[in-house]
Amino acid sequence: MIVTCTLNPSLDCYMEFEDNLELGKTNRSLLEYYEAGGKGINVSVVLNNLGVPSKAFGFLGGFAKDFYISLLTKYNQIQPSFTYIDGNTRINIKCIGDENTDLNANGPYITKENIEALKTKIERLDEGDYFVLSGNTQKYLEEDVEEMMKDLIDENVNVVLDTNHSLTQKMVKYQPFLVKRSVHELEEEYDVDDRKDVIEIGKKLYEAGAKHVIISEDDETAIFVYEGGTYRAKLVHDDVVNTVGIGDSLVAGFLMQYIRSKDALDSFKFAAACGSATAYSKTLATREKVDKFYEEVELKEIES
């Protein structure tokens, strides 16, 4: 079983505009639509598109809760299993024009009772299951989340981390199954001058305990570090349609293929195909596009 967890999901309102937004003026959109947002949800959606079932954990509350759940009903392979809270799920505004502008809300406060309710759900996972923590972990929750993740790893649950730096650094010593980072995150956390620095950081994460490490580089290439070596795959070439969800697609693709083959390097190749499929789609990767890109992905080993 695969479980994804989004601690601060969002109801995303997309508004498309003919031109760029003008500050201080009324801007009228051409089109509006809504999506259930959050990095963990993105992973579940890509898994759904690949025909792989998953459960979606996280916190939902307020007037947006029911609408959020209704948006997930179109995905047959996603089973919502959220923890309901008193606070309001955040609503993000995504303005799409010549340039894209995001207005992201902070989100509700998660109480001690809320986190204990989530712990109860997580304790039901079995040995060999996969638990994907994606998206930012609120600073005040890090201690509780670290404890939960450590307990899961102790029970031989495969933990995947695609979350903030501080929690990742605390967790890597427990040997998580997969750590996913982006070069944008690394630039905020380390002194990154070139690609060699990115590779070295990936190797350090592996040496510190992560069994597999994937780093997306500027949404164009991805680095993979594991016991068999270090590899790079090219994700995009030109005329990219979409950069949202590429990293989440990498995670979903790696998990699907690894569960099927237990071949880590081939799983990275499939992950790169998923990232490519998302880059050239208006939405997240579909199986048809993934299969097309899989034949085109080339892996290049990076020498030490």
Among the residues of the chain, which ranges form H helices? 39-49, 65-72, 112-122, 142-154, 165-171, 183-189, 195-208, 246-261, 264-279, 287-294
Other CB atoms within 10 A of residue 247 CB: 26
Catalytic (active-site) positions = 248
Tokens of 284: 């997240």
φ, ψ (nearest 5 deg) of residue 39: -65, -40
Q: Are 197 and 164 in contact (CB under 8 A)?
A: no
Q: Are 235 and 272 in contact (CB under 8 A)?
A: yes
Note the Cα 8 to chain centre separation in Å.
13
Q: What is the arrangement of strands in the sheet containing 31-37, beginning at the earlier edge strand?
A: 31-37, 10-16, 90-96, 101-103
Residues 6 or more apart whose CB falls under 8 angstroms from that of 134 comprise 4, 5, 6, 38, 39, 40, 42, 43, 160, 162, 163, 248, 251
Tokens of 7: 């601690």
Q: How far apart are alpha carbons 13 and 89 in whole angstroms?
A: 13
Residue with tokens 């959606």: 45
φ, ψ (nearest 5 deg) of residue 148: -60, -45
φ, ψ (nearest 5 deg) of residue 235: -100, -40
Tokens of 185: 């995150």
Characterize the bridge pairing of strands 158-162 and 78-80: unpaired
